[in-house]
Amino acid sequence: MGLILDLDFEHLQEFVLESGEPSFRARQIWEWIFKKRTFDFQSMSNLPEKFRAVLRDSFSFPTLKRCSRSSDGTIKFLWALEDGELIESVLLPYFTSRKKWISLCLSTQAGCPVRCLFCQTGIGGFRRNLSRGEILFQVVGMEKFGGTKASRILFMGMGEPLLNLRETIGAVEVLTRKEGGEFGERRITLSTVGMRELEEFLRNGPRVEIAYSLHFPEENQRKRFIPHPHVLPISRALELLEEYHSASGRVVSIEYLMIKGINDSLDSASKLSSLLRGKPFHVNLLPFNPVSPSSFSPSPRGYILAFKNFLRKSGLNVTIRKPRGSDIQAACGQLRAQTLDGEDSSS
């Protein structure tokens, strides 16, 4: 069996016609999945019974293995795929005095081949790329089981999106269509450490917003902690991102993880300031979420505030991102690792 969401709308229409049904059935199926968030073909009541049986025999959906809710409203989901692989995604509610919005954080790979030393997903190793349907299902699955509609899509979960470029772009193309949710490209953010595929994506891919996971202001230090050989040099990545912002008007943010004694000194702040001064980027300082096994610790709050103030005085636009879901292990890879460890110990 395959995932029905692996078919784009045109190929779904072809399947419908080959099954002896009129082409408008494809739109009905898409509405059941993307609008009504229904994953049981038998419940698609405006489809003929015989056709529902065909769908049931031909296609499947991932299943919810575990769901954890945080005191701050964050919900973390663990999905079981057809081949037994486990992936995570996170629903993030945000509130201000004027509005509320929901961000959905998606995974693009089961595990991650980049193997950043400070990342739980990287520590857990790489299994495989996700298909377009497996990426898309996380959106409708979180909306269904989270009981809400998404405002923004974040490709910031498990994996490096640019190492699964075709399926990631395919998922974005569906999400921006009328049949697939009508998410404007400005409501989608892709996070990357800056793989060499970045140039192709920025020039030919969808015009989404970009979050560049920089984390270290010096090339040699960054290579030690992000050891993948195909990561672009910092200078080249920033050059491409500056060109992209100028051409598209899209927001480019610089993600900087604050790790105690590693990259949180005022000397690091000075080097980061020199690197970014005059560039049209927004800096997000991220408090480190401890992972296991790892000797790294979060920077003290005072260090983070001093780091932020230094950058602001240097003229940079900077915010501190509030940690979310720490009580439910909402950092990428933690819930999956915990579940796999539990299964290993009980087998």
Domains and CATH numbers, the chain: 1-61 (1.10.150.530), 62-346 (3.20.20.70)
Which pTM value belongs to this model?
Answer: 0.92
Q: Which residues are catalytic?
A: 88, 332
Largest CA distance in the chain: 68
- Whether residue 172 contacts residue 126, with contact meaning beta carbons closer than 8 Å, is answered with no
List for the chain the helix, strand, coil content (%; round to 5). Answer: 40, 20, 35
End-to-end CA distance of the chain: 28
The edge-to-edge listing of strands for the beta sheet with 86-95 is 63-69, 75-80, 86-95, 100-105, 152-155, 188-192, 209-213, 252-258, 282-287, 317-320
The radius of gyration computed from the CA coordinates of the chain, to the nearest angstrom, equals 21
pLDDT in tens, the chain (347 residues): 799 999 999 999 999 999 999 999 999 999 999 999 999 999 999 999 999 999 999 999 999 999 999 988 999 999 999 999 999 999 999 887 788 899 999 999 999 999 999 988 888 889 999 999 999 999 999 999 999 999 999 999 999 999 999 999 999 999 999 888 889 999 999 999 999 999 999 999 999 999 999 999 999 999 999 999 999 999 999 999 999 999 999 999 999 999 999 999 999 999 999 999 999 999 999 999 887 777 899 999 999 999 999 999 999 999 999 876 566 555 554 544 455 445 443 32
